[in-house]
């Protein structure tokens, strides 16, 4: 008959050995056990004590997050590497000079552009035709939808009135669609006496902008500030130069509210008193001459440069 092996089974609940050396089951105090059993128990206790000490040390070295602190709210500081300017130089932009603008280097910006306006825009159209005799890409392939006497009021009606395309009367949005306008520059307001009737003129502008946004999807709108007028114009129309020039502040805010671009070069056309410079007018009232139109073109080109920056 095979002898029973001397196996001690440690009972954690009673801190005692479950079997004697002869294999019989008993529970009793440690001091009543055989010597080799007591030694084994002491050895096991040392092992358990060493393991518990090591675990406690590891836990003490590892910082624990508070249970109430969400992980997402824990801030972990990081250091963002900074580029060495000596190794990676900052990009520089070539200065834009008047000579550079005169070459029409950025005129490609005006491809797909339509200039919408009154007699002032008609003057720009005639100026452009002359320049295209020598440079067919003058202001890109821009087109013109303009008429003498045109106003914001008429443009806001969006019906067939003064505007024409290919010798056919068209409304504002109809003309823009037929011309495939990707961008429209608006120059209107003088014939509405914008500075004298600001509230009504702003309402016409808003109605016109709404119509273009709704019917000409994707067409970018750039509203140009109303140009200054002469002292004689102000006298005859009974409007102050402050009110006339102040209209552009209201127009700019409207453009911000409607989410369209605003662009003004009116200050470049003024004299020291805020009137249209006598050197730039063709009739002493509100129309500009060739020199004035050249300033307009230069301002347009500088605006185009800014879009590339």
Residue 100 is predicted with a pLDDT of 86
pLDDT in tens, 107-158: 999 999 999 999 999 999 999 999 999 999 999 999 999 999 999 999 999 9
| Residue 183 phi, psi (nearest 5) | -150, 140
User: Is the pTM of the predicted complex or chain greater than 0.95?
Assistant: no
Instruction: Please say whether the structural domain 98-308 has been given the CATH code 3.40.50.920.
Output: no
Instruction: Give the mean pLDDT of 195-214.
Output: 98
pLDDT in tens, 259-285: 999 999 999 999 999 999 999 999 999
CA nearest neighbour of 112 among 220, 212, 210, 187: 220
For residue 223, the SS3 value is strand
pLDDT in tens, 8-62: 444 444 444 444 444 444 444 545 555 555 555 555 655 555 566 565 554 544 4
Give the number of other Cβ atoms within 10 Å of residue 118's Cβ. Answer: 25
Instruction: Provide the residue ranges of all domains of the chain, joining segments of one domain with +.
Output: 10-54, 98-308
Which segment of 77-81, 97-101, 254-258 scores lowest on mean pLDDT?
77-81
Q: Name the maximum alpha-carbon separation found in the chain.
A: 136
Which string of b and e fits 226-264 if b means at least 16 CB within 10 Å? bbbbbbebbeeeebebeebbebbebbeebbeeeebbbbb
Residue 196 is predicted with a pLDDT of 98
């Amino acid at each position: 008959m095979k002898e029973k092996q001397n196996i001690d089974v440690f009972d954690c609940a009673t801190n005692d050995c479950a079997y004697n050396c002869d294999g019989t089951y008993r529970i009793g105090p440690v001091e009543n056990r055989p010597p080799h059993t007591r030694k084994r128990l002491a050895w096991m206790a040392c092992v358990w004590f060493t393991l518990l000490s090591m675990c406690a040390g590891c836990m003490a070295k590892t910082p624990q997050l508070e249970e109430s602190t969400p992980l997402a709210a824990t801030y972990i500081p990081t250091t963002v590497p900074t580029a060495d300017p000596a190794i990676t130089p900052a990009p520089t932009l070539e200065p834009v000079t008047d000579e550079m603008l005169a070459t029409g280097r950025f005129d490609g910006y005006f491809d797909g552009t339509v200039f919408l306006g009154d007699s002032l825009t008609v003057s720009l159209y005639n100026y452009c035709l002359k320049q295209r005799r020598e440079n067919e890409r003058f202001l890109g392939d821009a087109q013109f939808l303009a008429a003498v006497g045109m106003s914001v009021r008429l443009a806001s009606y969006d019906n067939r009135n003064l505007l024409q395309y290919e010798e056919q009367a068209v409304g504002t949005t109809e003309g823009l669609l037929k011309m495939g306008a990707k961008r429209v520059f608006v120059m209107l307001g003088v014939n509405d006496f914008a500075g004298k009737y600001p509230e009504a003129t702003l309402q016409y502008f808003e109605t016109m902008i709404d119509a273009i946004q709704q019917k000409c999807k994707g067409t970018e709108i750039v509203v140009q500030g109303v140009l200054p007028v002469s002292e004689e114009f102000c006298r005859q129309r009974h409007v102050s130069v402050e009110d006339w020039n102040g209209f552009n502040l209201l127009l700019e805010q409207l453009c911000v509210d409607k989410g369209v671009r605003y662009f003004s070069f009116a200050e470049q056309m003024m004299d020291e008193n805020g009137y249209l410079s006598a050197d730039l007018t063709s009739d002493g009232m509100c129309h500009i001459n060739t020199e004035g139109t050249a300033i307009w073109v230069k301002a347009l080109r500088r605006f185009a440069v800014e879009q590339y920056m």
